[in-house]
Amino acid sequence: MSATVTAPATPAPTSALNASRTTATAARVLRQLRHDPRTIALMLLVPCLMLILLRYVFDGSPRTFDSIGASLLGIFPLITMFLVTSIATLRERTSGTLERLLAMPLGKGDVIAGYALAFGTLAIIQSTLATGLALWFLGLDVTGSPWLLLLVALLDALLGTALGLFVSAFAASEFQAVQFMPAVLFPQLLLCGLFTPRDNMHPVLEAISNVLPMSYAVDGMNEVLKHTDMTANFLRDTLIVAGCALLVLTLGAATLRRRTA
């Protein structure tokens, strides 16, 4: 053991967002996942298996499969990314690594953007697999472009990442974090129009569903399902989902505290 003197590096300043630090964080998150191949396999394969299952559940009514399948292509990335992010950030908070990082010249924005970038990449792979499988092997009949499906799926994944990051601040343990999934996502799942069109619901519920982001994720998918072009509704839906993701990410950044009691 010896202490050799190296040329002191000029301390790089802390800024809200630094490209190198953000990509370093994203690379680190992905590297952690690479040591956990089972999680990757589950994230990528489970949505595909669910779609296959669904296809044969609705064997007699391909119309229903079209509508539910398209909706689920938007919902899967949201749920997976929500779960993965909430657990990953909770671990970061409880293991002391977050405290260490925030005592270093790392911006909060770097942490958030790093996570969003890493899980966004994973979401693209997951959505590509699921969308490809649904369109070309399960006969999902979509009028619009598959790229638009992918775009909505990616935005949904970002929304899931944002929500997961945010609720992890309110969970003291992994048990609690997992319970936030039904608490935050199930109501949205029931009200998003997956089971019955939203305008068939009780007016109160319809009003609630109008302010839940998942409703717009599903609406956006259905727009692609029915129209060849990018409709005004589609644009509105994607903008709302993206806006929600951004808003919740900002809220998530506010829950990262440099000073804690």
Partner 1 sequence: MMNNAADPPDASGNTPPRTAETSAIHAEGLTVVRGPRTVLRALDFTVPRGQITGLLGPSGCGKSTLMRAIVGTQAKVTGTLDVLGRPAGHPTLRARIGYVTQAPSVYDDLTIRQNLDYFAAILDPGRSSTERRHDNVTRAIADVDLTSHADSLAGNLSGGQRSRVSLAVALLGTPELLVLDEPTVGLDPVLRRDLWNLFHDIAADRGATLLISSHVMDEAERCHRLLLMREGEILADDTPDALRTRTGADTVEAAFLHLVDEATANSRKKETTR
105 in Cβ contact with 14 (< 8 Å)? yes
Dihedral sign from CA coordinates of 193, 223, 247, 112: positive
Question: For residues 135 and 146, is the Cβ–Cβ distance under 8 A?
Answer: yes
Binding mask 103-142 for partner 1 (x = CB under 8 A): xxxx------------------------------------
**Which stretch, 14-22, 52-60, 216-224, 241-249, contacts partner 1 (CB under 8 A)?**
14-22
Q: Which residue, 74, 81, 78, is CA-closest to 220? A: 74
Instruction: For residue 173, state whether it binds partner 1 (rule: CB under 8 A).
Output: no
For position 100 contacting partner 1 by CB under 8 A, the verdict is yes
- Does position 32 interact with partner 1 (CB under 8 A)? The reply is yes
Using rule CB under 8 A, residue 102 touches partner 1: yes
Q: Which of 37, 38, 59, 96 is in the footprint of partner 1 by CB under 8 A?
A: 96
Q: Does 210 bind partner 1 (CB under 8 A)?
A: no
Closest CA to 15 of 115, 102, 117, 106: 106
State yes or no: residue 5 binds partner 1 (CB under 8 A): yes
Could you count the other beta carbons within 10 Å of the beta carbon of residue 195?
A: 12
Sole binder of partner 1 in the list 35, 38, 63, 202 (CB under 8 A): 35
**Alpha carbons 158 and 120: distance in angstroms, whole number:** 6
The reply to whether 6 sits near partner 1 by the rule CB under 8 A is: yes
> Site for partner 1 (CB under 8 A): which residue of 145, 246, 254, 257?
257
Return left, alpha or beta for 193; rule: phi > 0 is left, psi -120 to 50 is alpha, else beta: left
Sign of CA pseudo-dihedral 14, 15, 19, 25:
positive
Q: Which residues contact partner 1 by CB under 8 A?
A: 1-9, 11-14, 18, 20-21, 24-25, 27-28, 31-32, 35-36, 95-97, 99-106, 257-261
